[in-house]
Amino acid sequence: MAIDSGLNGNFDLTKDTVDRIVSNKPGAYLLGKKNSDGTMMVHYAGRSDYDLNARLKNHVDNYPAFAFINLDTRKQAYDKECWLYHTFNPRDNSVHPAKPSDTSYTCSISGCTN
């Protein structure tokens, strides 16, 4: 992950690590695996609108590494997830991030129609 994502980490994705460093508030994240030089190869971008701690623990058995940022609002989490998706083009994300169902948010990335 050579691009500065603005996220914390390249941590091992374990429940203990998540409980130690991730809050139960909105946030965005990247998942992947570590290369031999210790950098993360990004495979997935995601977010949680309410509880990033719980959301990350859902991925423990699927990915060995993560980076994250806790945010104050779900709008910030959605915007960050969109930026991560467009910037890293993660191989395991087959579609653009969905907006929260009860909102009219749109992707703020120039040229994006979502």
pLDDT score of 27? 98
Regions of the chain short of the pLDDT cut 50: 1
pLDDT score of 2? 54
Residue given tokens 């395991």 in the structure block: 92
Integer CA distances (angstroms), 50 to 4, 7, 33, 73, 95, in order: 25, 18, 25, 8, 21
8-88 CATH choice from 3.40.228.10, 3.40.50.720, 3.30.2350.10, 3.40.1440.10? 3.40.1440.10
Task: Please state the domain extents for the chain.
Answer: 8-88
